[in-house]
Chain A
Amino acid sequence: MAENTILTNLPIGREARVTAVKGEGRVTRRLMEMGVIPGVAVQVVKMAPFGDPIEVRLRGYSLAMRRTEADAIEVSF
Chain B
Amino acid sequence: MDTNGHNSQITIALAGNPNAGKTTLFNSLTGLKQKVANYPGVTVERKEGPWTLNGKTANLIDLPGLYSLDATSLDEHIASDIIRGEQAGVQKPDAIVAVVDATNLERNLYLVMQMFEFGVPVVIALTMIDVFEKQKHEIDIEMLSARLKTPVVAVNAKSGRGRNQLAAKVQEVLHTTPVVPYEFNENAENAGPNGKIFSRYNFISEVVQDSVWHSDQKSHRLSDKIDRVLTHKFFGLVILVAILLVVFQTIFSWASLPMDLLEKGFGAISDFVRAEMPPGILTDLLADGIIAGVGGVVVFLPQILLLFLFISLLEDSGYMARAAFLLDKLMSRVGLHGKAFLPLISSFACAIPGIMATRTIESRRDRFATIMIAPFMSCSARLPVYTLMIGAFFGGQYVFGFISMGAVLMLAMYALGIIVAIVVAGILKRTVLKAPPPSFLMELPPYRLPNLRTVFQNMFTRALLFLKRAGTVILAISIILWALMYFPRSSQQSAVTGQPSAAIATGEVSSESTPLPESEQLKHSFAGKLGHVIEPVIQPLGFDWKIGVALIASFAAREVLVSTLSIIYNVGKDEGAESQTLIAAVRDAKTDDGKPAWTPLTALTLMVFFVLAMQCMSTVAIVRRETNSWSWPLFMIGYMTALAYLGAFLTYQGGKLLGFG
| Complex Cα–Cα for A69 and B440 (A) | 8
A53-B440, A55-B325, A65-B440 known; A48 vs B107 contact (CB < 8 Å):
no
Within 8 A of B (CB), among A45-76: 46-53, 55, 59-66, 68-69
**Interface assignment of B253: CB less than 8 Å from any CB of chain A:** no
Q: Closest Cβ of chain A: how far from B488's Cβ, in Å?
A: 58
Structural contact, A60 and B332, CB atoms closer than 8 A: no
Q: Closest Cβ of chain B: how far from A69's Cβ, in Å?
A: 7
Closest residue of chain B to A32 (Cβ to Cβ) is B197
Structural contact, B110 and A49, CB atoms closer than 8 A: no
A35-B110, A35-B201 known; A49 vs B237 contact (CB < 8 Å):
yes
Structural contact, B439 and A27, CB atoms closer than 8 A: yes
Structural contact, B107 and A61, CB atoms closer than 8 A: yes
Q: Closest Cβ of chain A: how far from B457's Cβ, in Å?
A: 26
Within 8 A of A (CB), among B185-210: 193-194, 197-198, 201
Within 8 A of A (CB), among B230-255: 231, 233-234, 236-237
Q: Closest Cβ of chain A: how far from B77's Cβ, in Å?
A: 13
A49-B237, A59-B107, A64-B325 known; A33 vs B197 contact (CB < 8 Å):
yes
From A29, A31, A60, A64, contact of B106 by CB (8 A): A60
Task: Please name all residues of chain B whose beta carbon is closer than 8 Å to the beta carbon of A63 when the two chains form the complex.
Answer: 441-444
**Interface assignment of A30: CB less than 8 Å from any CB of chain B:** yes
| Complex Cα–Cα for A49 and B103 (A) | 28
Structural contact, A35 and B106, CB atoms closer than 8 A: yes
Closest residue of chain B to A40 (Cβ to Cβ) is B201
Structural contact, A37 and B67, CB atoms closer than 8 A: no
Task: Please name all residues of chain B whose beta carbon is closer than 8 Å to the beta carbon of A47 when the two chains form the complex.
Answer: 233
Q: Closest Cβ of chain B: how far from A14's Cβ, in Å?
A: 14
With an 8 Å Cβ cutoff, the count of chain B residues facing the other chain is 38
Q: Closest Cβ of chain A: how far from B221's Cβ, in Å?
A: 10
Closest residue of chain B to A55 (Cβ to Cβ) is B444
Structural contact, B440 and A33, CB atoms closer than 8 A: no
Task: Please name all residues of chain B whose beta carbon is closer than 8 Å to the beta carbon of A49 when the two chains form the complex.
Answer: 233-234, 236-237, 326, 329
Q: Closest Cβ of chain B: how far from A52's Cβ, in Å?
A: 5
| Complex Cα–Cα for A64 and B329 (A) | 12
Task: Please name all residues of chain A whose beta carbon is closer than 8 Å to the beta carbon of B444 when the two chains form the complex.
Answer: 55, 61-64
**Interface assignment of B5: CB less than 8 Å from any CB of chain A:** no
Q: Closest Cβ of chain A: how far from B134's Cβ, in Å?
A: 15
A59-B107, A60-B104 known; A37 vs B198 contact (CB < 8 Å):
yes
Structural contact, A35 and B441, CB atoms closer than 8 A: no
Q: Closest Cβ of chain A: how far from B254's Cβ, in Å?
A: 31
Indicate with 1 or 0, residue by residue over A20-34, a CB within 8 angstroms of chain B CB atoms. 000011111111111
From A24, A33, A40, contact of B68 by CB (8 A): A33
Structural contact, B106 and A34, CB atoms closer than 8 A: no
| Complex Cα–Cα for A61 and B445 (A) | 7
| Complex Cα–Cα for A62 and B318 (A) | 12
Indicate with 1 or 0, residue by residue over B334-373, a CB within 8 angstroms of chain A CB atoms. 0000100000000000000000000000000000000000
| Complex Cα–Cα for A27 and B237 (A) | 28
- Report which residue of B324, B330, B440 has the largest number of chain A beta carbons within 10 angstroms of its beta carbon: B440
Indicate with 1 or 0, residue by residue over B89-105, a CB within 8 angstroms of chain A CB atoms. 00000000000000111
A27-B441, A29-B70, A49-B329 known; A60 vs B201 contact (CB < 8 Å):
no
Task: Please name all residues of chain B whose beta carbon is closer than 8 Å to the beta carbon of A40 when the two chains form the complex.
Answer: 201
Closest residue of chain B to A68 (Cβ to Cβ) is B437
Q: Closest Cβ of chain B: how far from A13's Cβ, in Å?
A: 12
Within 8 A of A (CB), among B275-326: 321, 324-326
Structural contact, A33 and B104, CB atoms closer than 8 A: no
Structural contact, B193 and A64, CB atoms closer than 8 A: no
Task: Please name all residues of chain B whose beta carbon is closer than 8 Å to the beta carbon of A46 when the two chains form the complex.
Answer: 231
Q: Closest Cβ of chain A: how far from B161's Cβ, in Å?
A: 23
A30-B72, A59-B106, A60-B103 known; A69 vs B439 contact (CB < 8 Å):
yes
| Complex Cα–Cα for A62 and B19 (A) | 12
| Complex Cα–Cα for A1 and B233 (A) | 34
Structural contact, B72 and A48, CB atoms closer than 8 A: no
**Interface assignment of B328: CB less than 8 Å from any CB of chain A:** yes
| Complex Cα–Cα for A69 and B237 (A) | 24
| Complex Cα–Cα for A26 and B321 (A) | 22
| Complex Cα–Cα for A63 and B325 (A) | 10
**Interface assignment of B500: CB less than 8 Å from any CB of chain A:** no
Structural contact, A33 and B110, CB atoms closer than 8 A: yes
Known: A29-B197, A53-B325, A61-B103. 17 other contacts (CB 8 A): A26-B436, A27-B436, A32-B197, A33-B70, A34-B107, A37-B201, A48-B231, A55-B325, A55-B444, A60-B104, A60-B105, A61-B107, A62-B445, A63-B444, A64-B321, A64-B440, A65-B441
Report which A residues bind B (CB closer than 8 A): 24-35, 37-38, 40, 46-53, 55, 59-66, 68-69
Name 16 interchain pairs, CB-CB below 8 A, sorted by A: A24-B193, A29-B70, A29-B194, A34-B107, A35-B201, A37-B197, A38-B198, A52-B332, A53-B325, A53-B440, A60-B104, A60-B105, A60-B106, A62-B445, A63-B443, A64-B321
5 A-B pairs with least C-beta separation: A50-B329, A62-B444, A59-B106, A66-B440, A33-B68
